[in-house]
Structure 1
Amino acid sequence: ALIGVAFSVAFLVGPMIGAWFAKRARTNELFLSTPALFAIVLTIIELVCIVLFLPETLPKEKRLIKSHSESKLLPFWIY
């Protein structure tokens, strides 16, 4: 339910933010970079909140410890 709420809020707030940036856009600004910078800042804030406030759900005794030799068997993105 929380994911649905997050999407609903994003669908409501996103166009309003886009309209605000469109209204404030300067024609001489290179590639209109302000919206991109705003998105980068929001992403960094999100990552910091995830790292700081979301706990690890898997108990330590159930975590798989991989040896160095096993880690070379699979590509890095699978871990």
Structure 2
Amino acid sequence: MTIGLLKGVNKSGHKGWTTEKCAICGTTLDFVSGYEAKNIYYCPRCVSQGLKAYFCSADARVLHYKCPYCKGELKPYYA
């Protein structure tokens, strides 16, 4: 077995490693392009508990930047 010949979903450049779905609308959030766009919000409390509480900017605005699960404040992923 050789190290470095990863293929398929295990490959480091695969989109599955850098994308997540919005918890409300299901929009695909790309963390690589989200660095420049700054359109990804998350709840620090829920993410630390293991929930995938990531939100797009449109849903964060509709939710008044409050988490629908724990009522905590949503933070921008790249601040």
TM-score over 0.5 for the pair: no
Higher helix share: 1
Length-normalised TM-score, structure 2: 0.24
- TM-score by length of structure 1 reads 0.24
**Greater C-alpha Rg:** 1
- Structure with the bigger RCO (C-alpha within 8 Å, sep 6+) is 2
More strand by share: 2
